[in-house]
Amino acid sequence: MEMNKLAILTFMVLASGIFTSCLKDECVEKLEYAVYEPVYLSEEQYNEGISVLEPRPLQQPGIIYTYQDYLFINELNKGIHIFDNSDPNNPQAVSFISILGNTHFAIIKNQILANKFGHLLSIDISNPLSPEETSRVSDVSNDYYFENNRGYLAYYEKTDRVETIDCSDPEFNSVRWTDRQTGNIFWQGRPEVDFLAADASNSSGGGDPGVGGSTARMTISHNTLYWVNDSQLLTFDISDQKKPREISSTNIGWGIETIYPFKDKLFIGSTSGMFIFSLEDPYRPELQSSFSHANACDPVVANDNTAFVTLRSGNECNGFVNQLDVIDVENINAPYLIRTYEMIQPQGISLLDKYLYLCEGDFGLKILDVSQRDDVKLLNHIKSIKANDVIALGNDILMVIGDDGFTQFDISERDNPKLLSEITVDKP
């Protein structure tokens, strides 16, 4: 069980190019990659509460989220950074909420609804300098489990490795190979920043939900919180945001990744396809239709008649495609593919008017004109940043998160972003 889990999740990631040199029938291949090794925690650590600390540097950023005049950035498996973003030219660090095991959250009415491993926490941020945990629903997600004599398998810690092999090795020039010491299988590709999570609604300020990215695992719609784990859609009544109440869980199938709300629908992405759920009864989402695609990770955004899906290879999804799929969903019961567009390393996406902002990971950010669905056009390609997820706001602000940090742009000219500010990663 553990070895299978490790073989899937402790995947190899190619962080830079591969070179080959030959001299007198000898050749070598330098492999630079990352290994993700399991971290086990005691039951006490798994269940401990939050703590509020002084601001700290970004080191491994996860999701981004904006609520009122504040910016929230997840520190993967460690907690949430809070910034005052009332001046987008100069965001100011406010505090850090230490939440061991946090990767996903959404915000409504001054309450952060966040995971701590398999728990759902409600955190009051009426005073961002002094957040307070108000309640929790324990062990509602099945993504985490306890192992005798080891504790909870909580998350995986990244370790960089370099290995050199020659061309006589059977693993030479392969898209996958086996670690000599552990026997685990590694895949070429790029490391995930975990599953990003945020609310994808189009409103902010006041008592409404905030706004987050496309690679969500949590989202808020119809005064209800929806949370997807590897195989389930979990539903919570948040009419009292300080005390969420679990309502239902729906088995969808393995490989569930992202969730995106649009009007009375939920678009759920998996490694094998997209599922569309009706919210006619918000407490009991009902599967309405699905669309199958190649095996790959797939963030989804949608409008009234079109869903945009990015498919990415070289990660734990074990896919072999890098593309943008444009899908007709005007008849919600019969979605069909309009056209596929080749990409490099597509990840998070955000839709604003006729513009699609598409993250290309290590290869920057693309701006696409999607007004003609069968003739999507590239308008701009910003290669100076790394981009994992993106939020395009109606107030002409574009927010991008990547392995090198957070970047904010003015997009009053939609296809020509102007840099406003940066929060860079401080590598240990």
Between 308 and 209, whose confidence is greater? 308
pLDDT at 213 over 70: yes
In angstroms, the Cα distances linking 366 to 248, 424, 426 are 38, 21, 26
pLDDT digit string (tens) for 282-301?
999 999 998 876 555 668 89
pLDDT at 113 over 50: yes
**Band (10; pLDDT cuts 50, 70, 90):** very low
**Band (318; pLDDT cuts 50, 70, 90):** low
Q: What is the pTM of this model?
A: 0.79
- How far apart CA 421 and CA 281 sit, in angstroms, is 42
- The predicted pLDDT at position 196 comes to 28
**Band (164; pLDDT cuts 50, 70, 90):** confident
**Band (192; pLDDT cuts 50, 70, 90):** very low
- The predicted pLDDT at position 36 comes to 72
pLDDT digit string (tens) for 359-402?
999 999 999 999 999 999 999 999 999 999 999 999 999 999 99
Highest mean pLDDT among 54-68, 200-214, 282-296, 312-326: 54-68
Between 289 and 151, whose confidence is greater? 289
Average pLDDT of every residue of the chain: 82
